[in-house]
Structure 1
């Protein structure tokens, strides 16, 4: 009884030395962790403000004097696409997710929203390419469109011969520039059926959001048509290495987000016919726009690319930053036909419409005087960049195809610089720019200085 009473009246027990030590150590560790975090994040401490000057140590642009890292590129492109990452896909072939359009109900907003999430993730963080089986379930739409394309090709070939191409030399290919417009004018009925396909909206919205603009180019590769070299696409993909490094690194990332590339198979595409060669995950490589021409990257692509056979009506979509190339048609008597799809973001346009030609007309004599006094000085170059268009697209590629050895026609800025160097007067300059403007319009005519060359 006494013991029990004594125990009841005892003061609360105090922690032992070991408990106190452990608690103190834990508190000290926590304080140390917080202090380290504050120091790491450069956040002023509670007792003393740390004043520290910060310096910019990273260049905003890539340098031509340094080599892109092939080992880094190899690591990125050796990733494996796991089926569980894309549960809505019907399977994965050659690291490329495959979706069957026939298995989806596009009126089910919940499921299509999840599908768009997968497609978006694929192009930004995943393999960068996917295939949609049965993109066109009705082959009669493709057949009618093919007949329209054949009539266009025949008419244009009789009028002006073969068309210039960005990457494919030789005369094996048949090409329709601006097939989007020509298709409508040739056969409005099949055009309406073709672009009423709701899968276009689902795919384009998933990557670019609303307000996008579709353009298309038909490419038919005959037996013996050689493979392209690997490349990236529009915008930075169409510029030289020297031009590419002038753009900040952030623009390299942005370029891949402004355009969606794709192709609809207008014939079956067995592997021997040369369907598009792809290098999954290559779109995640930051220096890719200045790498694809380098011999070591070309060699790696040739040894590691994949291709997936397609059926008529299937479609493939991919990031413009993905390393890719059309394959070689090794068949004896089979034409591989695709409608190439290039979709542009609503962004990337100026807020106001500027007509540069009247401005150049008004200021050219003053600019020429400044050039004669100072040459192509910083001031002269700054004015050229401000007053003239520095980008040759959009244009009419029938009238202004990519120049031989290049991937784009001249821009207004390039013509303006050339005219100053060659000593043109104002009348000559405005004549050249006016002819370029006419040739660049949708209904343009081939001018006297335009060269059309074989693919």
Structure 2
């Protein structure tokens, strides 16, 4: 019988090790140039000349039933990458001058450089560069393969400087950004669904020998169903450190991987390579509501009623808050709306709950919600 709930006490390293016995069979991927340490490596020119549905079929198998990642050698032209790199470096320099250097979700804050929402910033700063960069046919091919049409692209530039430490092992957005306690509240089918709602990618903006710290992966680990409850466990981290795969990349190479794959950016042990990658997070169009709703206006209007009923123990305020206010932290502007005490910023629902708990006057709630909305906008770019 299919498991309905995943419980933290059910997490066992032995079960992950059983999953990791899988082997990547080259015969299943005839369009791949080679299999290197369980990873499928494709030559960009070869797959550009192949029938697109056949390529997409291999990508789907690779990201789902296969190792969970593909490397596309030469996916982006070096001149296009160089033009974007110059713009990203200017953004980072601007951040340094302004004293607003951004942190990383899974690494020591301040050790490296991060540009949040590099997608919009590049479009506004250098539209011609943006058009050349995102006209990439292979980006579209793999995104449509995993997510179908109407996908949405975001990007964050990550630079691991010489001597910079890498990230700790993790899984990615959505459930990878939740605490273990929160993740366990979601039924098992949502754990299975999370990995097909997004696609992770990274474009190499410089040559990345192993000593510069290209991303570490654990092929096939995305198939461990309890992984969203497991990746913080010390024994899983130890196994990852001892058994990960790390492949060198060249400028213009791209890696795409299942967000449930255990992975981490590597430490940069080079003497002078400022390892830059453009991290692409591509989302399914299906994680959206049907209607547009002004939830700030709703929350402020409902607040006096909720406040009056707050002393009624038989009345479940949280149920009403869930229907009225935004209970999810994303999407947001991570330059201004930064996580506090976790991987996600505060939500509208959390603000409304705090106002009720502390008996705020309505004007204070309105101001807090308005400030929250301003932090999420990108009009400061």
Q: TM-score normalised to the size of structure 1?
A: 0.81
Other structure's SS at 1:317 match: strand
| Cross-structure match for 1:382 | 319
| Cross-structure match for 1:121 | 61
In structure 1, distance between residues paired with 2:317 and 2:6 = 25
In structure 1, distance between residues paired with 2:133 and 2:194 = 28
2:103/2:109 contact within 8 Å kept = no
Q: Would you say how many aligned residue pairs link Structure 1 and Structure 2?
A: 381
In structure 1, distance between residues paired with 2:278 and 2:39 = 20
In structure 1, distance between residues paired with 2:315 and 2:223 = 35
Structure 1, residues 215-263: CA drift from partner, whole Å, max 9, x if none? 0000011011112111000101001011001111100111100000010
Q: Are 1:181 and 2:153 matched, yes or no?
A: no
Which has the higher Rg, Structure 1 or Structure 2?
Answer: 1
Other structure's SS at 2:158 match: strand
2:160/2:166 contact within 8 Å kept = no
Q: Give the superposition deviation at 1:175.
A: 0.7
Structure 2 portions without partners, runs of 5+: none
Other structure's SS at 1:372 match: coil
1:356-375 to structure 2, matched below 5 A, reads 356-374=295-313
In structure 2, distance between residues paired with 1:82 and 1:58 = 28
1:192-211 to structure 2, matched below 5 A, reads 192-211=131-150
Q: Give the superposition deviation at 1:373.
A: 3.4
Q: TM-score normalised to the size of structure 2?
A: 0.97
Change (3 A) 1:237 1:378: farther
In structure 2, distance between residues paired with 1:351 and 1:117 = 30
Structure 1, residues 21-62: CA drift from partner, whole Å, max 9, x if none? xxxxxxxxxxxxxxxxxxxxxxxxxxxxxxxxxxxx976322
| Cross-structure match for 1:148 | 87
In structure 2, distance between residues paired with 1:229 and 1:85 = 32
Structure 1, residues 372-401: CA drift from partner, whole Å, max 9, x if none? 333xx6611100111001101000001012
Other structure's SS at 1:245 match: helix
| Cross-structure match for 1:34 | none
- Of 428, 431, 434, 2:367 maps to 431
Change (3 A) 1:196 1:433: same
Q: Give the superposition deviation at 1:171.
A: 2.2
In structure 2, distance between residues paired with 1:367 and 1:62 = 34
In structure 2, distance between residues paired with 1:105 and 1:230 = 33
In structure 2, distance between residues paired with 1:83 and 1:251 = 31
Q: Moved runs in structure 1, 4+ residues, more than 4 A?
A: none
1:30-429 to structure 2, matched below 5 A, reads 60-64=4-8, 66-106=9-49, 111-136=51-76, 138-374=77-313, 379-403=316-340, 405-429=341-365
2:107/2:166 contact within 8 Å kept = yes
1:439-450 to structure 2, matched below 5 A, reads 439-443=375-379
Other structure's SS at 1:218 match: strand
Change (3 A) 1:59 1:306: closer
In structure 1, distance between residues paired with 2:55 and 2:181 = 39
Q: Give the superposition deviation at 1:444.
A: 5.4
Q: Give the superposition deviation at 1:419.
A: 1.6
Q: CA RMSD in A?
A: 1.5
Change (3 A) 1:59 1:193: closer
Structure 1, residues 169-194: CA drift from partner, whole Å, max 9, x if none? 14221110000000111111111100
In structure 2, distance between residues paired with 1:272 and 1:205 = 33
Structure 1 portions without partners, runs of 5+: 1-56, 446-455
1:396/1:444 contact within 8 Å kept = no
In structure 2, distance between residues paired with 1:246 and 1:126 = 28
Other structure's SS at 2:320 match: helix
In structure 1, distance between residues paired with 2:150 and 2:3 = 34
Other structure's SS at 1:262 match: strand
Change (3 A) 1:161 1:358: closer
